[in-house]
Structure 1
Amino acid sequence: MRYVKEILTAESAPPPAPGAEQYPALDFANSAIALPGGQFADFLGTPEAANQWLNDRGLAPADAGLQEMCTAQLRTLREQIRALLAARLNGCAPPATALAAVNEALTKAPAAALLHWDPARGLHRAASHPTTQIVEHALATLAADAATLLTASDATRLTACGSPPCNRYLLRHGRRHWCSTRCGDRARAARAYARRTQPKTT
């Protein structure tokens, strides 16, 4: 498998999966994407990429200066949240380590942005902490959102994309089981190819 750490371009990146805009934790769980051809893209693959991902979602300033240790914490929490989503889909008990990781992140830092005053901006809310606390704030926010998703009525709509090799999760709308039009087209093409190549029985 070829591992691609760089952020995908706007043209090549798939759109957010259904539900990801409503639940940042779903977007977070989908930030490592299995691609056709054995490639694997990770939006948190480098400190710079992770900083950009967090900044795009209002979870860190552009100049947060994330280091690899903080980035590794993000990737670890992502895998634990994915384990919880998989357990929910499979109807089995969640791994104790995943529960512990999410609960630890929940209690590590307050999820609320603090109120600040700046003569140029006036009153505003922001997390103005050292880098490690910025990451702890982001971890707490994403963990809280994951807990909300997993316990809300929307959890019944949670599903995995039905177009291999895609590994993204989504909230199902109607009968749709694909995270994007691209994955739907690929699944339909695969089914059509299978029908064409299936041996005819006499």
Structure 2
Amino acid sequence: MELQIAGSVPPPAPGAERYPALDFVNSSVALPGGQFVDLLGTPATTNRWLTEHGLAPADAGVQEMCATQLRSLREHLRSLFAARVAALPALPAALSAVNDALSRVPTTALLHWDEKNGPYRAVPCPVHEILDHALATLAANAADLLTGPDAERLTACGSPPCNRYLLRHGRRHWCSTRCGDRARAARAYARRAHPETR
């Protein structure tokens, strides 16, 4: 099953090498035939994705709650990317979710208060720290993309049913060669099927 999924997923979209948030947003892939592949679909695949992107050790022990939080951030970022591409206002809930993720990583050990022993400082639980670091890193990277010079190049893949985003380079509007081939084949078929529309 994993080999089949791995073969179904297109390579990273243009721009993902510079913006891991782009790869994160594209971790839910729509495929032809109404199929979807979610690279964050289970705790194990989420842990693997985080490890491959340098955001967690292989033995981080990601639980479903962590995977759910990451999938939620992904959907909020997708919403912001879609708003940017369509030049529409952002949803306030998406902005709140990203700002919450940005503020998750403390710069120092936090102050706590124990009823018996009084005040003490401590860092969060390691698993929560890993998740908070991943959420903050991905949110910051997405914010950099949305507010930086590359924001003008952000676009949705132009080959239905693909739902991925990419940074446009020249006239290229596809996230992968596979999507480009599919779009060209659809145009060629349309020209043969309806020659009078040329």
Query: Do they superpose with TM above 0.5?
Result: yes
SS at 1:108 equivalent: coil
Aligned length: 183
For residues 35-94 of structure 1, give each alpha carbon's deviation from its aligned partner in whole angstroms, at most 9, with x where no partner exists.
001100000000000000000011001011111111000000000001000111111111
Does residue 11 of the first structure (1) align with residue 7 of the second (2)?
yes
Structure 1 residue 129 displacement after superposition: 5.2
Alignment of 1:52-63 (within 5 A): 52-63=48-59
Q: Which residue of 1 aligns with 2:120?
A: none
* Cα pair 2:9 2:29 within 8 Å, conserved: no
* Cα pair 1:81 1:102 within 8 Å, conserved: yes
Does residue 93 of the first structure (1) align with residue 89 of the second (2)?
yes
Distance 1:181 1:128 in 2: 43
- Structure 1 length normalisation: TM-score? 0.85
Q: Which residue of 2 aligns with 1:49?
A: 45
Bigger share in helix: 2
Distance 2:145 2:60 in 1: 28
Q: Which residue of 1 aligns with 2:138?
A: 142
Equivalent residue for 2:22, pick from 26, 51, 57: 26
CA distance 1:174–1:58, change in 2 (3 Å): same
Structure 1 residue 128 displacement after superposition: 9.7
For residues 99-149 of structure 1, give each alpha carbon's deviation from its aligned partner in whole angstroms, at most 9, with x where no partner exists.
00000000011589xxxxxxxxxxxxxx99521221111000000001100
Q: Which residue of 2 aligns with 1:123?
A: none
* Cα pair 1:111 1:138 within 8 Å, conserved: no
Distance 2:56 2:32 in 1: 31
Distance 2:76 2:4 in 1: 23
Give identity over the alignment, percent: 68
CA distance 1:100–1:7, change in 2 (3 Å): farther
User: What are structure 2's unaligned runs of at least 5 residues?
Assistant: 109-122
User: What are structure 1's unaligned runs of at least 5 residues?
Assistant: 113-126
Tell me which structure has the larger Cα radius of gyration. Answer: 2
- Give the letter for the 2:172 counterpart: R
Does residue 104 of the first structure (1) align with residue 100 of the second (2)?
yes
Question: Runs of at least 4 residues of structure 1 off by over 2 A?
Answer: 6-13
Distance 2:188 2:3 in 1: 32
Q: Which residue of 1 aligns with 2:68?
A: 72
Distance 1:98 1:182 in 2: 31
